[in-house]
Structure 1
Amino acid sequence: MSKRILFMVLTMALAIYAGAASAQQLSLGQLSQYLNQLQTAQGGFTQINQDGTISTGQIYIKRPGRIRFEYNAPNDALVMAGGGQLAVFDPRSNIGPDRYPLNQTPLGIILEANVDLNRERMVTNIVSDGTTTTITAQDPDNPQYGNIKLVFTANPVELRQWIITDELGTETTVILNDLETGGAIGDIQFNIVAEMRQRGY
């Protein structure tokens, strides 16, 4: 094979590879549609904190507006969102959970009733390595609340992990394990007042 023909073959092969890789990048419309169709989901999670500590547990999602993180021992904490609030239950506390408005946290972005990632200034970065598509999203009206970096795979589209950067710049990574979508999850799982009553607050 002559050098000229070899060069042409290699060029074509690289073009085909590059096309296949770029084809894996998901559009913001596709990702918005995936999140909006994600009504319920549950599975395991691994959390990596900024200081390098690792926690594991179970996650429950019921869109819009509801999520629950049950942490395994020795952490034994609980983080849940419902009724427009995000509550952090510390088992060592006897004064009740810390509570924050959900829409002032980056988690509120993916729990909205209608996620529109094409909204102006919502997505600040999108990259693909040919296997995953990663976007960085923020509240376009309140970027000071922090941002959330979402990692998706294609065929089928699946959310695999996220990295939350809060208003102080602290990063928390959550890796989703065996997330199963669909199925019934009771609303009581996301009722902050009922959880407080159950814990005797």
Structure 2
Amino acid sequence: MLRMKMLALAALPAALLTAPAVIAQAPSALDQVSQHLKAVDTMTANFSQTDRRGQVLGGKLTLKRPGKVRFQYQKGVPMLIVADGKRLNMIDYEVKRVESWPVGNSPLSVLLDAGKDLSRYAKIVPSDDPRVVMVEARDAKRPEYGRITLVFARIDSAPAGLSLQGWSVIDAQNNRTTVKLANQRFNVAVADSAFRWTDPRRRGPRA
């Protein structure tokens, strides 16, 4: 249940997800996305996550490349998602359960590893809004990892002229999770301690 709710972790603004695709992006759009990812070392934002049942949860996102991210859910939600540079951990403090796997096995790896060659596993998704760039990424050899569609807004003042607005993840069971971002801040100071977590199965923090 925990993995189904959280692994999907993904999505764009709902209007963008359902909008008809009629205008193709310029051929250089994928390169621009790659430049943006390489230009952003850290990011913080508020997030709103919607799962396949329509349940909405909010919280704070903290990202630091390579390989680190933290989804701190709103008060009262006993869940945490955190990647420490090597493994992505999904923690349910209510039932004291932890699921963990390599960061590279998650759709979120496209966000956490700016060194990946996007041309090998990602493509631009046509959009009806020229101010929006949408990128779908998947590993054709590992369909069980699911696929992620990132949504960027063209904003001149943002790194490489793009600002991440959110994403949509569809897992191997065809379940969709949507995440929308707000109040994005790029390249701010983020300590490595932000990606430590307390293991509910034993006492003490995890680095």
Classify the TM-score, shorter chain: 0.7 to 0.9
Give the residue type in structure 2 aligned to 1:132: V
Whether 2:136 is the aligned partner of 1:136: answer yes
CA deviations on 1:152-183 (whole Å, 9 max, x unpaired) are 11133111010011222211111011110112
Which residue number in structure 1 is paired with residue 203 of structure 2?
A: 200
Higher share of residues assigned helix: 1
* SS of aligned partner of 2:199: helix
Structure 1: gaps spanning 5 or more residues:
1-20
Give the residue type in structure 2 aligned to 1:65: G
CA deviations on 1:86-108 (whole Å, 9 max, x unpaired) are 111112023x4211221111001
| Aligned residues between the structures | 176
Which residue number in structure 2 is paired with residue 59 of structure 1?
A: 61
Shift in CA distance, 99/146, structure 1 to aligned 2, threshold 3 Å: same
Shift in CA distance, 100/126, structure 1 to aligned 2, threshold 3 Å: same
Match of 1:91 among 86, 93, 98: 93
Q: Is the 8 A contact 2:25 2:127 kept in 1?
A: no
Shift in CA distance, 125/31, structure 1 to aligned 2, threshold 3 Å: closer
Q: Is the 8 A contact 1:83 1:191 kept in 2?
A: no
* SS of aligned partner of 2:46: strand
Greater RCO, CA 8 A, separation 6+: 2
Match of 2:180 among 167, 171, 175: 175
Which residue number in structure 2 is paired with residue 110 of structure 1?
A: 111
Question: TM-score by structure 1 length?
Answer: 0.78
CA deviations on 1:133-160 (whole Å, 9 max, x unpaired) are 1121112442331110001111331110
Give the residue type in structure 1 aligned to 2:60: Q
- Please provide the CA RMSD for this pair: 2.4
Deviation at 1:116, TM superposition (A): 2.3
Q: Is the 8 A contact 1:46 1:57 kept in 2?
A: yes
Question: Sequence identity, in percent?
Answer: 30
Deviation at 1:196, TM superposition (A): 2.3
Give the structure with higher Rg (CA).
1
Question: TM-score by structure 2 length?
Answer: 0.76
Separation in structure 2 between the aligned mates of residue 110 and residue 58 of structure 1, nearest angstrom: 16
Separation in structure 1 between the aligned mates of residue 86 and residue 25 of structure 2, nearest angstrom: 37
Task: Map residues 6-85 of structure 1 onto 2, 5 A cutoff.
Answer: 27-85=29-87
Deviation at 1:127, TM superposition (A): 1.3
Shift in CA distance, 76/154, structure 1 to aligned 2, threshold 3 Å: same
Which residue number in structure 2 is paired with residue 126 of structure 1?
A: 125
* SS of aligned partner of 1:167: coil
